[in-house]
Structure 1
Amino acid sequence: MGFRKARNSKVDNLRNYMTIVVGSVIMAVAVNLIFEPLGLVTGGLAGLAIVVKELTKFIWEGGLPVWIFTVITNIPLFLVSIKLLGIKAMFSVSLGTITYVLALAVIPIYDFQFNDMLLAAVVGGAITGVGLGMVFSVSASTGGTDLLATLIQRFNRHMSVPTILTIVDGTIIILGALVFGIGNALYAIIAVFITAKVSDGLLEGLKFAKMAYIISDEYDKIAQEIMTSLDRGVTGLSSTGMYSNKERKMLFCVVSKKEIVKITEIAKKIDPNSFVIVNDVREVMGEGFIEYKQ
């Protein structure tokens, strides 16, 4: 039993590391193929690096490469973070950051010459959102302003990390507006919005489920069928119909999105007069869903 748990733990860790690597590479693709060529500063160290590259073109041919600036700025952040948070806590962040920087250095910068800046902002934001969602889904990050906000919060407890991150990234976007113009900045804001929506959707999609309440006189048969055919647990809640003043069990169960149709079919098949209430569930942790890990 212990061997099986150890093996499962190694498989889970490997899967998480692969998710971090793939997500970091996807984020770098958006920077090198869309944001940098078009001068879209979407916040983060990559956005600041794009600004610095533009400002250093007169002293460095083509400007200081984004990946070099990202390395330079991340080094002090990592040294401080290791001291405050410990090496173990920084492993996943280190993997994400190293992969991200290497991808920025290796992936060629290519201008697809988007004639529609809005389309470029949407595509870039969506690509970044997928990569960011993958990295966040395993509680990791690619360093940068995320790490900076975490460090600042340790010395400024009355401000949350998201608030600090918004201020830092907002400042970087303003710098981008000063260098590339207000038009580019507005498109960059659209890209940031799309990134947030896609990454949030990806994270919620991984944890999203459906909750069903079933009221029926045939509650026992319905519960048995759900447990048998779907292998899902069902809870019977004591309830009283206020019109009939009749006591009965109200069934409560949580299932995946694709299983909720089967739940309603079972209820209606056994009792056509059954009353089924379906709600969205944002996050479910436990057996059959996402396992809680300390």
Structure 2
Amino acid sequence: MYVERLKYVIQSSVRKTSLYRRIFFVLCGAMLVAVSLELFLVRNSVIDGGIVGVSLILSHLSSFETGPLLLLLNSPFLLVGYQYMGRRFVFLSMLAIFALWSGMFLLKPYPVLTTNPFIVIGVGGTILGLGIGLIIRYGGALDGTEILAILLSKRTRFSIGQYVMIFNFIIFGSSVFVFGMREAFYSLVTYLIAYNIIDLSVQDQ
């Protein structure tokens, strides 16, 4: 699953899609992620995996907003991404992060749409997956842990997917102590739904 997604990110830099079209769909994807996080997941103590999940946990434990944390924590990975995936990848990824930050800020005054866990997980996870899938499909990313997984997999016997699962196991395990066991389980299920939707989103038509 992750291998195909990462290959798509790398290969998309050479596809003949105009930059303006990429920007449009990356912005749309970031807005969908903002809706999912702000109106479904975060205020129900449900988080995503990767750097987004770490940013949400740290934001919950501190007075910092999620957006600046997301940019700060992703910065080292974006520098690596510049070397391996090019300027356009970094530009689109930073655009996605800033758009997500802005979207979450604009949606913060609005109440959460539901507290029903089945709707939160199902709808929130689906919207999250669609949003991230659009960002990936058009050449950007919100999560630098996958770039790290690429580099580590080249130097060890573990695969990219195994490294990503290890990172997220640590993140969801940590969320147990912050939000509780039930919320950590909900986060894991949401994560599985979202990344299956991402796989569908990035497939060639």
TM range (shorter): 0.7 to 0.9
CA deviations 1:216-270 (Å, max 9, x no partner) are xxxxxxxxxxxxxxxxxxxxxxxxxxxxxxxxxxxxxxxxxxxxxxxxxxxxxxx
Match of 1:197 in 2: 196
Q: 1:115 to 1:31 in 2, by over 3 A?
A: closer
**Distance change >3 Å, CA 106–CA 116, structure 1 → 2:** closer
Identity among equivalent pairs (%):
21
Q: For the residues of structure 1 that align with 2:113 and 2:103, how far apart are their CA atoms?
A: 21
Per-residue CA deviation, residues 177-228 of structure 1 (Å, 9 max, x unaligned), is 1211110111112211221232223334x52xxxxxxxxxxxxxxxxxxxxx
Structure-2 residue corresponding to 1:264? none
Query: d(CA) in 2 for partners of 1:34 and 1:94?
Result: 24
Taking the TM superposition and a 5 Å limit, the aligned residue runs for 1:152-167 are 152-154=152-154, 156-167=155-166
Q: State TM-score, norm by structure 1.
A: 0.57
1:24 aligns with 2:30: yes
**Residue 173 of structure 1 corresponds to which residue in structure 2?**
172
Query: If each structure's helix is expressed as a fraction of its own residues, which one has the higher value?
Result: 2
Matches within 5 A, 1:24-63: 24-56=30-62, 63=63
What is aligned with 2:3? none
Deviation track 1:96-116 (CA, whole Å, cap 9, x = no partner) reads 333333333443254426342
User: How far, CA to CA, are the matches of 2:82 and 2:176 in structure 1?
Assistant: 34
Query: Deviation above 4 Å: which 4+ runs of structure 1?
Result: 83-86
Instruction: Find the aligned partners of 1:195 and 1:36 in 2 and give their Cα distance.
Output: 15
Determine which structure has greater relative contact order: mean sequence separation of CA pairs < 8 Å that are 6+ residues apart, divided by chain length. 2
Closer, same or farther: CA 53–191 of 1 in aligned 2, 3 Å: same
Q: Match for 1:19: what amino acid?
A: F
The unaligned stretches of length 5 or more in structure 2 are: 1-15
RMSD, aligned CA: 2.5
Which blocks of at least 5 consecutive residues in structure 1 are unaligned?
Answer: 1-8, 57-62, 208-294
Specify the code of the residue in structure 1 equivalent to 2:19.
N
Larger of the two Rg values belongs to structure: 1
**TM-score, scaled relative to structure 2:** 0.78
Q: How does 1:106-117 map to 2 (within 5 A)?
A: 106-108=106-108, 110-112=110-112, 114-117=114-117
